[in-house]
Amino acid sequence: MASQAAAATPARPVTAEEFFHLMAPFAPFERAPHLAVAVSGGADSLALVLLADTWARACGGVVTALTVDHRLRPDAAAEAAQVGLWMERYRIAHVTLVRIGPVPRGDIQAAARLARYQLLEAWCAARGVLHLLTAHHREDQAETLLLRLARGSGLDGLAGMASVAERSACRVLRPLLGVARARLAATLVARGQEWLEDPSNDNPAFARARLRRAASVLAGEGLSSERLAATAARLARARAALEVAVARHLAQCAWLHPAGFAWLDGARLAAAPQEVGLRALGAVIATVGGAAYPPRLTAIERLYRALAGPLGTGRTLGGCRILPRRGRVLVCREPAAAAPPLTVFPGEDAIWDDRFRLRLPASADGGRMLGPLGTRSAPVDAAALREIPAAVRPTLPAISDRSGLVAVPHLGHFRPDAAFGGPNDTVLEFRPRRSLTPVGFRVV
C-alpha cells in the first residue's frame, strides 16, 4: 500500500472542474446518470472513481465501483475488500466481481483483460448501466503504441485506445487518456488517500513493465509518453477518417441480408482507393464470419486481387465462402466453420455461431436446440426461395425440439405451434460480433 508521504510528487492534481471538461465530449448523458467505474485499488483507478463520483453527484447521478478479483494472486480478495472499505468511506457503492475458472495458460494478462471486460460489461448489462469508465491514462496510451509497433501493427493498431468504445450493452469511456499518471497519484495525495500497488506492474516478465523501466531512456531519445500519446491521437484521426470512407463505400457496393450473408458488387469494390477497398472487404468477411476482427491483411489482399479476375468455383476465408454469382459476389458462412448446436432454455438469451441471437420466452414449454439447418429439409415459401441462395441454406439457424424441426425463420418455415414476433415470443435475429459499419473509432 502506497502512502502519501512515499508518493509525494510535484505533479498537479486533477481538479473537479478539469474532470468536468474531460467528461464533456462524452455527452449527452441520461438524466441522473449511473456510472460504473472499474477500480483495481491502484492510484489511477482510485483517482478516477473519486473524480467520477464528484461529477455524477453534481449531475444528480451515482457511481458504482466495480473491482474484479481474477483469482490469479493470493492477495486479490483482500485487496478487493480494501477497495470496498475505501468506497464505504466516500459513500460509493462497491461490488466485487470474481472470475471463475482455471488459471489461464499462455498470455495471462490478455486472458485476464478479456475476463475482466466480460465481467464488467455483464454487470452493466444486467443492471442497465450505460457507461463503464476505465482509468487508462497517457502512459498507457504511449505503451500501447509501442507494443503494437513492436508487433508490426498497421494504422488501426497504432491509433491506440479509443476514448469511447461502443459495446453491445454499454459504452466504455476513457476520460483520462490525455492525463499523466503522476497527476492521478497527486490527486490522491491531495485528498490524503492511500492506494494499492500491483506487483505485476514491476514484473519484467510482462512487456508493459519492461517499457515502464525503459521510459526515461525512451524519453531521452524523444519518445516521451506525451509525444507518443500525441502521435497515437494523430493516427487515430486518420483511422477515423478512413472508417468514414469505408462506411460510405460499403453503402455503395455491399448489401447485408438479415439471414447472415452479403452480396458484393465486385467492380464497385475495386473502384475505390485500394486501402478503402481492402478495409471494406475485410469488414464484410468479419461480419458474415462472426469474427471480432478481419482476417490477416495478406489474406485479404490475395482475395482482393482475385476479385478483379475470375473466381472460378470460389474461395474460402475467415469462415466464409466467397462465390461468383451472375456478376456479383456472394459472401456466406462456410458450413464447416459453423458452430455446433446449442441448447437454449426458457427465459434465456443465447448467441449461436457468434452471429445469431435467440431469445426464448420464460413461458416456453421446454428447451430448444439452435444450430445449422444442414441437410435437413424444410418447407420453403416462394419469396425465401428467390431471396436465399442455395449456398446459404445449410448454415441458416434452425430451431428444434424433441419432436423435430420447430422453425427456420429465414426460410419462412414455422411449425404451427411455434410462436414468433410478439414481445413475449421467441425472437431470432442476426447479431454478429462485429457490425458491418461500426460506430467508428472515437477520438476525444
**What is the percent of the chain with per-residue pLDDT over 70, rounded to a whole number?**
95
Q: Per-residue pLDDT for 3 more than 60?
A: no
Q: Per-residue pLDDT for 74 more than 60?
A: yes
Q: Is the pTM of this model over 0.85?
A: no
Which of these, 162, 183, 186, lies nearest to 174 by C-alpha position? 162
Question: What average pLDDT score do residues 76-82 get?
Answer: 94
Q: Per-residue pLDDT for 294 more than 80?
A: yes
Query: What span, in angstroms and rounded, lies between the C-alpha atoms of 176 and 173?
Result: 9
According to the per-residue pLDDT averaged within each range, which of 194-208, 212-226, 279-293, 376-390 is highest? 279-293
pLDDT tens track for 220-240: 778 788 898 999 999 999 999
Only one residue has cell 491521437, namely 233
pLDDT score of 205? 67
- List the domain boundaries for the chain: 16-233, 250-335, 340-430
Query: Out of 22-26, 30-34, 146-150, 322-326, which region has the weakest mean confidence (pLDDT)?
Result: 146-150
Q: What fold, for 16-233?
A: Rossmann fold (3.40.50)
Q: Per-residue pLDDT for 378 more than 90?
A: no
Asked whether the domain spanning 250-335 has the same topology as the one spanning 16-233, the reply is no
Is beta strand 356-359 parallel, antiparallel or unpaired with respect to 427-430? antiparallel
Query: Out of 165-169, 275-279, 316-320, 371-375, which region has the weakest mean confidence (pLDDT)?
Result: 165-169
Query: Out of 15-29, 134-148, 415-429, which region has the weakest mean confidence (pLDDT)?
Result: 415-429
Question: What average pLDDT score do residues 75-92 get?
Answer: 96
Higher pLDDT, 423 or 417: 417
Higher pLDDT, 424 or 375: 375
pLDDT score of 308? 80
* 426 phi/psi in degrees, rounded to 5: -65, 135
pLDDT tens track for 238-269: 999 999 999 999 999 999 999 999 999 988 99
For residues 102 and 111, the answer to whether their CB atoms sit within 8 Å is: no
Q: Per-residue pLDDT for 320 more than 80?
A: yes
pLDDT score of 8? 45
pLDDT score of 371? 96
Q: Per-residue pLDDT for 5 more than 70?
A: no
pLDDT score of 338? 96
Residue 428 β-bridge partners: 358
| 3-class DSSP assignment, residue 34 | strand
Q: How many CB atoms lie within 10 A of CB 362?
A: 9
Average pLDDT, the chain: 89
Q: Per-residue pLDDT for 196 more than 70?
A: yes
- CATH class given for the domain over 250-335: alpha beta
Question: What average pLDDT score do residues 381-390 get?
Answer: 82
Residue ranges of E strands in 70-201: 93-98, 131-133, 164-166, 171-173
- Cell triple for 339: 458452430
pLDDT tens track for 96-151: 999 887 777 766 777 888 889 999 999 999 999 999 999 999 999 999 998 888 88
Question: What average pLDDT score do residues 396-415 get?
Answer: 91
pLDDT score of 220? 78
Only one residue has cell 470460389, namely 314
Question: What average pLDDT score do residues 203-212 get?
Answer: 73
For residues 358 and 426, the answer to whether their CB atoms sit within 8 Å is: yes
Residue 350 β-bridge partners: 358
Query: What span, in angstroms and rounded, lies between the C-alpha atoms of 148 and 155?
Result: 10
Question: Mind spelling out the 3-state secondary structure of 66-94?
Answer: EEEECCCCCCHHHHHHHHHHHHHHCCCEE
CA separation, residue 118 to residues 121, 123, 244, 319, 344 (Å) = 5, 9, 28, 24, 20
pLDDT score of 106? 65
CA separation, residue 257 to residues 53, 95, 248, 334, 392 (Å) = 44, 41, 18, 16, 11
Query: What span, in angstroms and rounded, lies between the C-alpha atoms of 399 and 195?
Result: 52
Q: Per-residue pLDDT for 293 more than 90?
A: no
Question: What average pLDDT score do residues 144-172 get?
Answer: 88
Q: Per-residue pLDDT for 2 more than 80?
A: no
Residue 358 β-bridge partners: 350, 428
Residue 171 β-bridge partners: 131, 166
Higher pLDDT, 49 or 270: 49
Is beta strand 356-359 parallel, antiparallel or unpaired with respect to 328-333? unpaired
pLDDT score of 9? 44
